Structure formats: C-alpha cells, structure tokens
Chains A and B, each alone.
Chain A
Amino acid sequence: MKYVAAVGLEVHVQLKTRSKMFCACPVEFGAEPNTHTCPVCLGLPGALPVMNHEALRMTVLTGLMLGCDIAPICKFDRKNYFYPDMPKNYQISQYDMPLCTNGSVSLHDLAYPKDAQKNIVTPDKEVHLVRIHLEEDVAKSFHFENSTGIDFNRAGTPLMEIVTQPEINSPEEAFAFLTSLKQILIYGGVSDAEMEKGQLRCDCNISVRPEKQAGLGVKIEIKNMNSISGVRRALAYEIQRQISALETGEKLEQETRGWDDAAGETFLMRTKEFAHDYRYFPDPDLVPVTTEVLLADVRSRVPELPKAKRARFVQQYQVSAYDAGVLANDLVLARYFEAAAKGAKKPKNVANWILNDLQNALSGAGKTISDCPIPPEALDELVNLIDSGKISGKQGKEVFAEMFATGKRAAAIVKEKGIKQLSDLSAIEALCDEVISANPKAAADFKAGNVAPLNFLKGQVMKLSKGKANPQLAGEILERKLKS
C-alpha cells in the first residue's frame, strides 16, 4: 500500500530586540549565566510585565512579510504549567487572539537540500500558515547527572510561534520551508534565526495515512529540533517508522517523541495520557493591543523579499535565474553583489566572479561573505579591468588571489607586478607575424581548411608575449592574416 505523510511545523523564533518581551533586561546570547535577570523574568511575586513595543512591531512586520491577516486587536494569556524553566508557573502567550492568522511561505527550488533540487514534487509550493503569536521564551535548562541547572538569561526573550497547516509532505519540503522562512526573517531584520544559537527552534507534528484515506492519521509530535538538516533526518526516520508500524498492523497512538541526532532515531517522551491542560486565561496584568498604529509603523519596513529580489536581479542585471537564486539566498551576498555590480559594465561577469572564484576562496579560507577581505567595489574594479581588456582573464585570477590574500586593490597589484595585457594592435601583429613564419606547417594546415592549428598558433603568440597578449585579439589577428 502507498502511504502519504502530512507534517505541520511549529516554529519558534527569537526576535532580535535589544531587551526582553516584558522587562528591560538585555537579550544577549552567550552571556554569563543569570547576569540578565530582574524580578519580572525571575518570576518574583508582585513583579509586573510591560510589553516591548518593538517586539510587537516585529511580529506584525513578520505577518506582513508572510501575507498574514493582522488582527485589529489581540491580547495576552497565561499558559499554566509547572516546570523549573518558568518559575511563575505560567508562560505569557497568546491563546485565542493571536497577532497574525493565515499567510504562507513559498518554497523556492534552491531552498531544498542540494541533493533534492532535481526531484521537486511540487515546484513553488505554498505552505499555508495557521497563525503567528507572540510569547516569552523560557529559561535554559542544563541537564546534569543528578540535577538540573537553570539559566534565566533567556527567560523572557520575545518569541514568535509560527504554526503551519499540515501541508508539508516530505522531509525535503520541511527543509525547504525552514530555509525559506529563515531567509525571510533575516531579510526583515526580525531575527538572526541561527538554529545553533537556539534563535530558531522547531516542533514537528507528523502523521502518516494510506494514500486513499481522506482524514489525517494519528498525530505524533517531535519536540525541540535545533537544526534544519536535523529536521530533515528526523522526519525521514519518523515517517518511515510510522509506515512500518502501520504495515505490520500496529496501531499508532498520539504521543510526543524526541530526536537523538547521534543515534539517528526518535524516542518516546510521553504519551497522550499525560496530555497537558494549560488552563489558558487572559493575563490581567496586560491590557489588550490594537494593531492599527503598529501596522502604520512597520509598513515602510517591509523589505524587498527573496522572490522579488530574484526576479529583479534577472531583469536588472541579466544574471541567470539560477545565479539570481543563489545570490538572493543570502542577504549579505545579495547586498555584496549589488554593491559590486552597481558600477559594472557587465554585471553578469561580476556575478560569475562572486559565485565562482570569490565563493571558492571564501570557503577555502573558512570565511563567509561577511568577513570577505575584498570590498565589493574592489571586485568591481577587477572585473572592469578584465572586461575592458586591460588584463586577461587568466591574469585576473592571479590578481584576484593577491587581492584576497593581501586586501590590496587590483590597480595597485597590476602596477606593482607589471601585469598588463598587450592590446596594442601593432605589437600583437608583430608577434603574430613572428609565430606564423616560425610555424609554416601549422599555418599551411589552417589555410588548407584545418581549424585546429589556430589554437596552437594562438598559444604560441601568448607564450611569446609571456601571457600578456590579449588572447581574443591575437586570435582575430592570426585568423585575418592566415586567411588573407
């Protein structure tokens, strides 16, 4: 029997505010434990929360970027449970009046894992969202042998929860969804969305059913995934586990599982009998929020999104759709490209240099585009030197390597090393004459209609000029001379 999987994600995103959601303690990753706390985020009795204006704006901005409906009015509720990462015994969250509802994320081809980009089942698939609400993050727990340690620096960090419809049908689509979502969040400047820093975390709800069955199968949740590739692996394992179970006639029960990345398998955490009852009720400490002013504040902050940027790159700079996709995948890279392409005669060549030589050099040096030793205008200079024929492409690679290693500008290196391309017609003509007379057989072969010797002769001209001749000019002159 053929089975289909339906996956819904609950994605938690830490907002990039300077202070926490309900108190003014700084938000800082990696600080010494418990150095950013106050009575509010420690849950001391009598402390009162006050909403962070910017966190609300960022959530509304996210809603606008994802095409959500923004509720005219929303409120905060208490989600009650007992756990040491939340000492006031409730988390402030939003229950029945979230900030945003609906909306979607579209899955771009290049957002899929590299090995899956050739087999995309539904190109440009839209994954619809249920809602986005705002809540406070909880403290971080460290599980020791016989005890648990708690650091409250993270407690109270503004946290968006983005909930999708169960419309994701494969581990690869989940990967593409998270990659696409992450890009948009970074574009909007609402989160750095670094999973290794816990700024983006994800719970997966997975069900499997026979293809012909209309309703969804039993929902099983995997908690706290902290890498996009981990989500892919966990889903691949879990979907197969559920299919195998159904095939052997086992009845699946609603349960919560964890993912052991080292072992490559999911494990049971709790079953439905311990299902939570959070007894949500409106938080009397916080008054409701109207979104009209928030909307007005952030409308102008909606950035050009990856999809629009890709289209514009193709249109404005004549780069291929694929190259535009790679450039727009990374906002820093896209900005670098635009800065370099601004003054370029042939922006497409700038894109080629960035995507080939620069990317290779960066990965070879263990650097990213953010700490690239070549400023964009310097790369533009180099590409223009090549495009205008002043130096050859081959010389360009030499100059590039030097630029990357020393941070010097192309013009300075060219001058210093005496690199220049011989584009003086009479000088190249003289070289060509010399080569033709030194190689009568090759010249005769070409005249007899054999094209191959032309490249050999061109090579001889290049050799004679010590690589400085403009190869294109040399080829043209040779051909003209031999044909006359």
Chain B
Amino acid sequence: MARDSDLDVAYVARLARLNLTKAETELFQKQLGDVLKYVEKLRELNVSGVEAAAHGVPIFNVFREDAPRDWFTAEEALSNAPRQTDGLFIVPKVVE
C-alpha cells in the first residue's frame, strides 16, 4: 500500500515553485495520496514473466538524419517575448 510518506506535497510544490496554502497542501496531500493508492492496484499484477521496459510501446530507434533546415526568423522567434533587445529575449536578471 502507498504510504503518506511516499508523497510530500509541500516539498513537490516547492520544487515546482507553487505557493500552496496550508489548507491546499493538506487537501492535495489527501487527493494525490488517493491517486497513488489507486495506482497501487498495479502491484497486484503478477509481472514476474514480463521484461522491464523503459517505454510504454515496443518501438526503438526513431531518428532523423543530420540535415539542417531553417525555421523561425529572429523576429518570429521573439514575437511573443514580453521584452527584447538586440535580438535577445530579455528576462529579469538571474544569477547562476
């Protein structure tokens, strides 16, 4: 069974930069906990004969050849930018 400690909504919210109130945190903790419990049902299935997969569909190697093409002009690329200068997207100052 899923345990409460499997999900720390407050921590995940912090990682996702979401400001949740205490009430919201409690509500989502319960709701998402229920979702986890529901998905737990999968554990009842016997998968001992099933090979582990990294993807849902058995398809491999979908590639494109290394041929360049143009798409956006700088004007098009920047057309949704709230701020721009000299062809650059301008964002609030960030530090590394």
Contact = CB atoms under 8 A, between A and B. Distances in A.
Contacts of A26: 68-70
B69 to A, nearest CB: 5
A289 B61 contact: yes
Interface in B52-96: 54-57, 59-74, 77-78, 83, 85-96
B93 A148 contact: yes
B15 interface: yes
Contacts of B3: none
Contacts of A35: 73-74, 77, 87
Taking residues whose C-beta sits less than 8 angstroms from the other chain, chain B's interface range is 35 or more
Interface of A: 17-19, 23-27, 32-39, 42, 50-56, 73, 75, 80, 82-84, 97, 141-144, 146-152, 223-224, 258, 269, 277, 279, 282, 284, 286-290, 293
A361 B65 CA distance: 43
Contact of B68 (A24, A51, A279): A24
Q: Which are the 10 A-B pairs with shortest beta-carbon distances?
A: A149-B88, A38-B71, A54-B66, A53-B63, A26-B68, A33-B87, A19-B68, A75-B54, A150-B89, A34-B74
Contact of B86 (A56, A97, A149, A258): A149
11 contacts: A25-B70, A33-B86, A34-B89, A36-B70, A42-B72, A75-B55, A148-B90, A150-B88, A150-B90, A287-B62, A289-B61
Contact of A149 (B64, B67, B90): B90
A146 B94 CA distance: 9
Contacts of A17: 66
B17 interface: yes
A53 B64 contact: yes
Given A42-B77, A269-B96, A24 B89 contact: no
Contacts, number: 133
Interface of B: 15, 17, 54-57, 59-74, 77-78, 83, 85-96
Contact of B96 (A223, A288, A290, A293): A223
Which one of A144, A146, A149, A269 has the greatest number of beta carbons of chain B within 10 Å?
A149
A55 B63 CA distance: 10
A147 B57 contact: no
A25 B37 CA distance: 44
B92 A148 contact: yes
A84 B68 contact: no
Given A24-B69, A34-B77, A284-B56, A51 B15 contact: no
Nearest to A96: B54
